[in-house]
Amino acid sequence: MDYHYDVIVIGGGHAGSEAAHISAVMGLKTLLITNSIHHIALMPCNPAIGGPGKGHVVMEIDALGGLMAKATDLCTIHIKKVNTGKGPAVQTLRAQTQRDRYSLIIREYLEKTPLLSIFQGEASDLVLNSNGGISGVKTFQGTQFQCRSVVIATGTFLNGVIKIGEISFPAGRQGEFPANHLSQSLRQKGFETGRLNTCTPPRIDKRTIDFKKCDEQKSDDLPLCFSWESTPRVYDGSSVFLTRTNEKTCEIIRKNFDRSPLLYHFSDSSPVRECPSLEDKVYRFPDRLSHLVFLEPEGENSNEIYVQGVFTSLPEEVQWQILHSIPGLENCHIIRPGYGIEYDFIPPTQLKPSLESKLIPGLFFAGQINGTSGYEEAAGQGILAGMNAGRYAHNKPAIILQRDESYIGVMVDDLVTKGIQEPYRLRTGKVEYRLLIRHSNADIRLIEYGYQAGTISQSRYQMIQKKKNIITQELKRLEKTSIFPRVDLNRLLEKKHTSPLSEPARISSVLTRPQMSYYDLSPFDPDRPFLSPDIIEEVEIQTKYRGYIERQIRSVEEFRQMESRPIPLDFPFDRLKILSREAQEQLQALRPTTLGQASRIRGVTPSDLAALLILLEKFRKERQ
Amino acid sequence: MGAVGIVKLSGNDSIEIASKVCRLRSGKEIKKLPSFKLALCDVIDNNNKALDEGLVVLMREPFSYTRENVVEIQVHSSPLIIQKIIQICIIKGARLAEPGEFTKRAFLNGRISLNQAESVAEIVKVQSEKALYSLYQNLRGMFGEKITEWQKGLALIQAKIQVECDFSDRIGATDLQITFAKEINTIRQNIRQQYDRSKKFQNLQNGLLVVICGKPNVGKSSLLNAIIGKERSIVTPIPGTTRDAIEELFLIEGFPFRFVDTAGIRESQSYIEKIGIDKTKKYLEEAHLVIVLFDQSQEINREDYTLVDLVRKKPHIIVLNKSDLTSKIEKKDVNELYPQEKIIKISALSGKGIDRLLDQIIEKVQLIKDNYDEDYLAFNLRQQNELFKASTFLEQAQKSLEEGFPIDVVSIDIDEALRCLKRINGEDIDKKVVDSIFNNFCVGK
């Protein structure tokens, strides 16, 4: 029996699975410790992957060599392109999946990964070496493993307490034990912990729903998929159905406000604005009498329907009443009632942008334990923490994803710089340079990181280089090639409500018109090369929005200047008398690693930054 | 007055910009000028016309304070000239420096030595505090409230866009493109209006435009000479800023004035004269104050009537010249044209009555100034510049939306406009957008 590993990952959810997988792919001997091997990569909440912000992360995980995209493609039953017509930056995919299949597929991937072992047990304590760095993990049941770095990805399990109406009991998820020992161990080692809560909706029996009263949302009739390794497919089976709550629903909820243990206004838990419960929505928006409810299939072979929108911690008897007040659900049968859960999290300002803790070298945190919500957010942190735990074990510098190159970078920067007051969700609106970091170019954006870390193959790397070249060439060709004011072209332009040409024009300039697509111009562009749809999409976006893209590139240059100035780890923030008191306190508490990060900390003003800049220079010179 | 004013450019494009603003007297290209060599030049405006003569010196990287390419343009330090040069530099691609930015750049580029570091840090702090003080001191009033109001309006649009993109399942949002274009237009017009008024007010402070008008031979030039000749006024001639009319800048009791002597207005069919009259009319439109000059030795005729109609709505002073000659018209004749107005009798030739006219001018200026609600206005060039930029970004947003650009792309323009406003009042808008989302819209996963 070998007790020595390079990297140990605690927790087998979406963060833990991606972390363990990528670490093993990088050639590190990796161990995944999970409470239950049957619950690897479980989807305890909605049976869907993707959507605005989240779909972008799925693409980034794929670009870095992770599992989520390809696993989703293998169990998709319904998929849609979302946000078409609202802008290229916010367009992405959302897939409904066969929930139980997803878990099995990920488990299979993990089991097939060389160098990766799985161990069932409850990790209860961390072992440190004489320098205070991580050296191993103990389980409650009595095994001790040695390692060079650890990723903790325990989700909602730390001190988890389920709350349904007046009832509450300790649990990690419904039907699973919580992990209380590790939480205590972390506090003993000096970590601050906080409490968060979230709700999940009831699942109901498909056979008891009157779908005629609901609106149907079919899967798109275009072939779609997430991963570059998958083949796009059209799905024509399961649909999502849409219904609405009504005045009667609100009435029932209003009567039972005081029975909701997690309603923000009545409990001492944190506010939940990004994923509010239905009772929170009714409480905060009393004038709104109707809220959307989506009925999402949990799988083609399952009778369970996930009632998206009815997130609740109200007592079960009230849940029956609520559902029966909704059109189409009057006679529905609940299979699994909804519930709220409260759990410990590690305020993520205790982490570096690599997701390593500032307190214990070699100890990384990822996923819901950092205060995020959502599978994709968890998986995105998982892959980054896994890569960096691996690099730590190899004594290589950490990979830091920047705000201007990935959604994962934005999320991690938000977490470690601003901290959280409520469960954190990614949204496109949080990403300031989103026009540059699109769903469609995740592979090009992140290829260098994957290649550098060894999670991307040489052939894949060359494939992306080739793709980049083809895009550049086609952009140049469109710049150089003219089309002429022919009768049929002008007829088309007028039909599309845009002005006809009176003299020859560059194809690129005609394509700049929002009404015109690359495909529209095909009859007038005979020398056009044959290109794949993903390349055409990129070429079209880069031509159409060139002005805006160039402006964002200039903003990024300014941003990078600040980002490229590191703050040494031992920089004496406490001696910065010259700064405002608030800035000094904040900087000392958060210890930012770059000047850019410092600039995003609350309370730090431009004049504080100017002074900081000077002191940094002085510190550097004194060092030499 | 009389000292030298320096406009300093730093950065990659500074030599390029300088070569568009200055023309060397030697006829050589500025780019070819060696570093640290003063050269005589003309500062030129957009139409290549000389504004002023000056000296220009290049300091090429890394041998400058900021370690970037630096150009200094030295000119006569009249506030008007300096403002004008700054404006031209901005048109050619420069932007105003942030408080302490030159020092900041010097540090960024490793120019400041270790010994200097600590003391300069103090200065930067003081500078920024001063800058902050001057930045915020006039924001307590209505102007600050206006900025906040616009920020709120734009933040709400941003919130709506984010809600649509992050929480709505529908396809497309063309209805919102039209709504947002309208909402943006309203805010843009408000900002633009504020900018125009501020600009006007600033022009007022930089030099009140006083236009002297009257029919030919009424004594306009003599009046101008009489005013300039007064001991209490100091004269700085600005060549080349005027078209055909003569413009003079000088101070009267601390107020800067620009006096313009216009071509006479007369009833005429001649094309060339018509051009002259059009120019006069244009001056009259821009004028803060008009001096309407009558010749008391001549009877009032149709030409005087034309004039009366042109200036009736403008702040004006009525002056009867040539009081030393026999009078053909009396005050009451003029009062028929301008009922119940004060009329000042002068003799431009002898100087009689000029003091009373100057008093009257000062009095009028006070009245004009009181007319502007100063609380509402952006005082410094920096603020005005941000207002102008904000309105330009919003114009772009509106145009893009009307052309059919999707809402999320256009949010880039709105974001930039918000950042301009933030630079005026220092308020962080990111939190406002987020709050706006969750306070106004019932959203969630």
Q: What is the pLDDT of residue B235?
A: 44
Which residues from A are below 8 Å from B174, CB to CB? 85
pLDDT tens digits, A181-224: 999 999 999 999 999 988 999 999 999 999 999 999 999 999 99
B222 and B302 part of one domain: yes
Q: What residue of A is the nearest CA neighbor of B99?
A: A607
Look at residue A40 and tell me whether its pLDDT is greater than 70: yes
Gyration radius from chain B CA atoms: 27
CA B124, CA B45: separation in Å to the nearest integer? Answer: 34
Look at residue A93 and tell me whether its pLDDT is greater than 60: yes
- Name the nearest CA neighbour of B365 among B204, B198, B197: B204
Say if residues A412 and A430 touch (Cβ distance below 8 Å).
no
pLDDT level of residue A2 (50, 70, 90 thresholds): low
- Name the nearest CA neighbour of B21 among B64, B52, B61: B52
Q: Which of A534-545 are b and which e, b meaning 16 or more Cβ less than 10 Å from the residue's Cβ?
A: ebbbbbbbbbbb
Q: What is the pLDDT of residue B140?
A: 46
Look at residue A573 and tell me whether its pLDDT is greater than 60: yes
Inter-chain residue contact B110 with A274, CB threshold 8 Å: no
B392 and B355 part of one domain: no
CA A402, CA A404: separation in Å to the nearest integer? Answer: 5
B residues 421-440 closer than 8 Å to A (CB): 426, 433, 437-438
Which residues from A are below 8 Å from B412, CB to CB? 435, 548, 551-552
Q: What residue of B is the nearest CA neighbor of A427?
A: B166
Task: Kindly state whether residue B101 falls inside one of the protein's structural domains.
Answer: no
Pairing of strands B343-345, A203-205: unpaired
B368 and B383 part of one domain: no
Q: Give A141 to chain B, closest Cα distance, Å.
A: 38
Inter-chain residue contact A610 with B171, CB threshold 8 Å: no
Q: Is B55 exposed, middle or buried (CB count within 10 Å of its CB: 0-12, 13-18, 19+)?
A: middle
B365 and B383 part of one domain: no
Q: Is B137 exposed, middle or buried (CB count within 10 Å of its CB: 0-12, 13-18, 19+)?
A: exposed
pLDDT tens digits, A328-363: 999 999 999 999 999 999 999 999 999 999 999 999
Task: Kindly state whether residue B110 falls inside one of the protein's structural domains.
Answer: no
Residue at A311: amino acid letter = F
Mean pLDDT of chain A: 92
SS3 letters for A155-186?
A: CCCECCEEEECCEEEECCCCCCCCECHHHHHH
A residues 93-122 closer than 8 Å to B (CB): none
Inter-chain residue contact B445 with A274, CB threshold 8 Å: yes
Q: Select the residue from B125, B409, B411, B427 to test the A interface by mutation, using most A Cβ atoms within 10 A.
A: B409
Q: What is the pLDDT of residue B427?
A: 60
Q: What is the pLDDT of residue B115?
A: 41
Is A418 an interface residue toward B (CB < 8 Å)? no
B91 and B185 part of one domain: no
Q: Select the residue from B12, B178, B439, B442 to test the A interface by mutation, using most A Cβ atoms within 10 A.
A: B442
CA B407, CA B176: separation in Å to the nearest integer? Answer: 8
Q: Which of A561, A607, A622 sits opposite B132 (nearest CB)?
A: A607
Among B96, B113, B129, where does a domain finish? B96
Q: Select the residue from A614, A621, A622 to test the B interface by mutation, using most B Cβ atoms within 10 A.
A: A614
Gyration radius from chain A CA atoms: 26
B240 and B353 part of one domain: yes
Which CATH number is B19's domain given? 3.30.1360.120
B190 and B232 part of one domain: no
pLDDT level of residue B316 (50, 70, 90 thresholds): confident
Is B408 an interface residue toward A (CB < 8 Å)? yes
Which CATH number is B318's domain given? 3.40.50.300
- Tokens 């809600």 correspond to B163
Inter-chain residue contact A434 with B408, CB threshold 8 Å: yes
CA A62, CA A56: separation in Å to the nearest integer? Answer: 10
pLDDT tens digits, A269-292: 556 677 788 998 898 888 888 999
Task: Kindly state whether residue B108 falls inside one of the protein's structural domains.
Answer: no
B355 and B313 part of one domain: yes
Q: How many domains does chain B have?
A: 3
Among B327, B355, B372, where does a domain finish? B372
Inter-chain residue contact A513 with B403, CB threshold 8 Å: yes
Q: What is the pLDDT of residue A428?
A: 93
Which CATH number is B156's domain given? 1.20.120.430
Q: How many CB atoms lie within 10 A of CB A91?
A: 24
Mean pLDDT (whole number) for A473-491: 94
Q: Which superfamily is assigned to A565-623 in CATH? A: GidA associated domain, C-terminal subdomain (1.10.150.570)
pLDDT tens digits, B208-253: 788 888 877 788 778 887 877 654 444 444 333 333 445 566 666 6
Inter-chain residue contact B173 with A291, CB threshold 8 Å: no
B13 and B85 part of one domain: yes
Inter-chain residue contact B121 with A615, CB threshold 8 Å: yes
CA B213, CA B396: separation in Å to the nearest integer? Answer: 41
Token duo for residue B60? 């090429």
Say if residues A224 and A59 touch (Cβ distance below 8 Å).
no
Look at residue B373 and tell me whether its pLDDT is greater than 60: no
User: What sign does the dihedral B331-B334-B340-B343 (CA atoms) show?
Assistant: negative
- Return the minimum-mean-pLDDT range out of A66-80, A278-292, B177-191: A278-292
Mean pLDDT (whole number) for B125-146: 51
Q: For the CA atoms of B30, B36, B41, B43, what is the dihedral angle to 10 degrees?
A: 80
CA A199, CA A457: separation in Å to the nearest integer? Answer: 40
Q: How many CB atoms lie within 10 A of CB A274?
A: 22
Q: What is the pLDDT of residue B266?
A: 57
Pairing of strands B246-252, B255-261: antiparallel
Task: Kindly state whether residue B114 falls inside one of the protein's structural domains.
Answer: no
B residues 162-191 closer than 8 Å to A (CB): 162, 164-167, 169, 171-174
Residue at A346: amino acid letter = I
> In chain A, what percentage of residues exceed pLDDT 70?
97
- Return the minimum-mean-pLDDT range out of A4-13, A217-226, B80-89, B354-363: B80-89
pLDDT tens digits, A376-391: 999 999 999 999 999 9
In sequence order, the 6+-apart residues with CB closer than 8 A to the CB of A75 are A97, A98, A101, A102, A105
Token duo for residue B215? 């029919």
Q: Of how many residues is chain A composed?
A: 624
A residues 459-498 closer than 8 Å to B (CB): none
Which residues from B are below 8 Å from A611, CB to CB? 121, 124-125
Overall pTM surpassing 0.90 (yes/no): no
List, edge to edge, every strand of the sheet that includes A134-139: A123-128, A134-139, A144-146
Q: What is the pLDDT of residue B133?
A: 42
- Return the minimum-mean-pLDDT range out of A221-235, B117-131, B164-178: B117-131
Helix, coil or strand: residue B298: coil
Question: What are the CA-CA distances from residue B19 to residues A55, B40, B88, B96 (Å)?
Answer: 50, 13, 12, 18
B339 and B235 part of one domain: yes
Look at residue B170 and tell me whether its pLDDT is greater than 60: yes
pLDDT tens digits, B252-281: 665 667 777 776 555 555 565 566 667 777
Is B407 an interface residue toward A (CB < 8 Å)? yes
Tell me the CB-side half-sphere exposure of residue B294, using CA atoms within 13 A.
31
Alpha-helical runs (H) found in A26-90? 54-63, 68-75
Which residues from B are below 8 Å from A275, CB to CB? 444-445
Look at residue A227 and tell me whether its pLDDT is greater than 70: yes
Q: Between A150 and A562, name the one with better pLDDT.
A: A150
> In chain B, what percentage of residues exceed pLDDT 90?
20
The helix or strand, by DSSP H or E, that contains position A117, with its residue range, turns out to be: strand A116-120
Q: For the CA atoms of A426, A431, A436, A437, what is the dihedral angle to 10 degrees?
A: -20
Q: What is the DSSP letter of A493?
A: H
Inter-chain residue contact B409 with A87, CB threshold 8 Å: yes
Mean pLDDT (whole number) for A488-516: 92
Q: What residue of B is the nearest CA neighbor of A198?
A: B445
Q: Angle at the Cα of B186 (from B180 to B191), degrees rounded to 5?
A: 120
Token duo for residue B296? 């008391």
Q: What residue of A is the nearest CA neighbor of B120?
A: A614
List, edge to edge, every strand of the sheet that includes A149-152: A116-120, A30-34, A7-10, A149-152, A363-365
Q: What is the pLDDT of residue B127?
A: 44
Inter-chain residue contact A285 with B442, CB threshold 8 Å: yes
Q: Give B402 to chain A, closest Cα distance, Å.
A: 10
B323 and B228 part of one domain: yes
Q: Which of B100, B166, B167 sits opposite A610 (nearest CB)?
A: B100
Mean pLDDT (whole number) for B11-19: 91
Inter-chain residue contact B117 with A621, CB threshold 8 Å: yes
Backbone φ and ψ for B369, nearest 5 degrees, come out as -60, -40
For helices B407-425 and B142-167, the axis angle rounded to 10 degrees is 150
Is B13 an interface residue toward A (CB < 8 Å)? no
CA A163, CA A171: separation in Å to the nearest integer? Answer: 10
Say if residues A497 and A515 touch (Cβ distance below 8 Å).
yes
Mean pLDDT (whole number) for B387-393: 94
Look at residue A91 and tell me whether its pLDDT is greater than 50: yes
Q: What is the pLDDT of residue B234?
A: 41
Which residues from A are below 8 Å from B416, CB to CB? 551
Say which CATH architecture domain A473-551 belongs to.
Orthogonal Bundle (1.10)
Q: What is the pLDDT of residue B233?
A: 42
Token duo for residue B353? 């009555």
Interface pTM, i.e. ipTM: 0.88
Q: What is the pLDDT of residue A87?
A: 92
Look at residue B113 and tell me whether its pLDDT is greater than 50: no
Is A517 an interface residue toward B (CB < 8 Å)? no
Note whether A7-199+343-453 and A203-341 share their fold. Answer: no
Mean pLDDT (whole number) for A456-479: 96
Inter-chain residue contact A86 with B99, CB threshold 8 Å: no
Q: What is the pLDDT of residue B438?
A: 60
Look at residue B120 and tell me whether its pLDDT is greater than 80: no
Q: What is the pLDDT of residue A304?
A: 95
Q: Which CATH number fits domain A203-341: 3.30.559.10, 3.40.50.300, 2.40.30.260, 3.40.50.720?
A: 2.40.30.260
pLDDT level of residue A306 (50, 70, 90 thresholds): very high
Question: What are the CA-CA distances from residue A161 to residues A24, A276, B42, B215 (Å)?
Answer: 33, 18, 78, 93
Look at residue A36 and tell me whether its pLDDT is greater than 60: yes
Q: What residue of B is the nearest CA neighbor of A606?
A: B128
Is A424 an interface residue toward B (CB < 8 Å)? no
Inter-chain residue contact A217 with B169, CB threshold 8 Å: yes
pLDDT level of residue B368 (50, 70, 90 thresholds): confident
Look at residue B424 and tell me whether its pLDDT is greater than 70: yes
Task: Kindly state whether residue B124 falls inside one of the protein's structural domains.
Answer: no
**Reported CATH class of domain A7-199+343-453:** alpha beta
Inter-chain residue contact B444 with A275, CB threshold 8 Å: yes
Q: What is the pLDDT of residue A583?
A: 81
Q: How many CB atoms lie within 10 A of CB B235?
A: 13
Pairing of strands A505-506, A482-483: antiparallel
Q: Which of A274, A515, A551 sits opposite B412 (nearest CB)?
A: A551
Task: Kindly state whether residue B115 falls inside one of the protein's structural domains.
Answer: no
Backbone φ and ψ for A615, nearest 5 degrees, come out as -65, -35
- Name the nearest CA neighbour of B32 among B10, B44, B15, B45: B15
Mean pLDDT (whole number) for B339-366: 83
Q: What is the pLDDT of residue B202?
A: 66
Among B347, B372, B397, where does a domain finish? B372
Q: What is the pLDDT of residue B137?
A: 44
Domain that holds residue B285: 207-372
Q: What is the pLDDT of residue A413?
A: 96
Q: Between B414 and A610, name the one with better pLDDT.
A: B414
Mean pLDDT of chain B: 76
Backbone φ and ψ for A342, nearest 5 degrees, come out as -115, 140
Q: What is the pLDDT of residue B380?
A: 63
- Return the minimum-mean-pLDDT range out of A170-179, A306-315, B166-175, B289-298: B166-175
A residues 535-594 closer than 8 Å to B (CB): 545, 548, 551-552, 561, 578
Inter-chain residue contact A610 with B103, CB threshold 8 Å: yes
Say if residues A21 and A9 touch (Cβ distance below 8 Å).
no
B residues 100-159 closer than 8 Å to A (CB): 100, 103-104, 107-108, 110, 112, 114, 117-118, 120-122, 124-125, 128-129, 132, 158
SS3 letters for B388-403?
A: HHHHHHHHHHHHHHHH
Q: What is the pLDDT of residue A111?
A: 97
- Tokens 């293998």 correspond to A74
The structural domains of chain A, with segments of one domain joined by +, span: 7-199+343-453, 203-341, 473-551, 565-623
Look at residue B114 and tell me whether its pLDDT is greater than 60: no
Is B231 an interface residue toward A (CB < 8 Å)? no
Is A619 an interface residue toward B (CB < 8 Å)? no
- Name the nearest CA neighbour of A83 among A53, A46, A48: A53
B273 and B291 part of one domain: yes
Say if residues A123 and A130 touch (Cβ distance below 8 Å).
no
pLDDT tens digits, A254-274: 999 989 887 765 555 556 677
In sequence order, the 6+-apart residues with CB closer than 8 A to the CB of B271 are none
pLDDT level of residue B443 (50, 70, 90 thresholds): low
